[in-house]
Amino acid sequence: MMLMAKNRMREARFFVGKPQAQLWAETRIHYSTICRIERGYQKPSPEQKQKLARALGVQPDWLFPESEK
């Protein structure tokens, strides 16, 4: 499996102080999926991008830069 370009989820989670389990509770995206997205093993759907960005207080385009597309 190829790794995709890194996203900024870990950085955003660190700055807002949210562990993956809290992000799971807020977005209802399973923690294993959050982990795979954060590590670059899975590309998030547009809906997942919106949910994650909202929960982290950032714009989806910042969280998942165009270089990943």
Count up the domains in the chain and report the number. 1
The answer to whether position 46 is within a domain reads yes
- 23 CB burial (10 A radius; 0-12, 13-18, 19+): buried
Tell which phi-psi region holds residue 5, choosing left (phi > 0), alpha (psi between -120 and 50) or beta.
beta
How does pLDDT run across 9-35, given as a tens digit for each residue?
889 999 999 999 999 999 999 999 999
Statement: the pTM of the whole predicted model exceeds 0.95:
no
pLDDT class for 55, splitting at 50, 70, 90?
very high
CATH (domain of 24): 1.10.260.40
Flag whether 69 is in a domain.
no
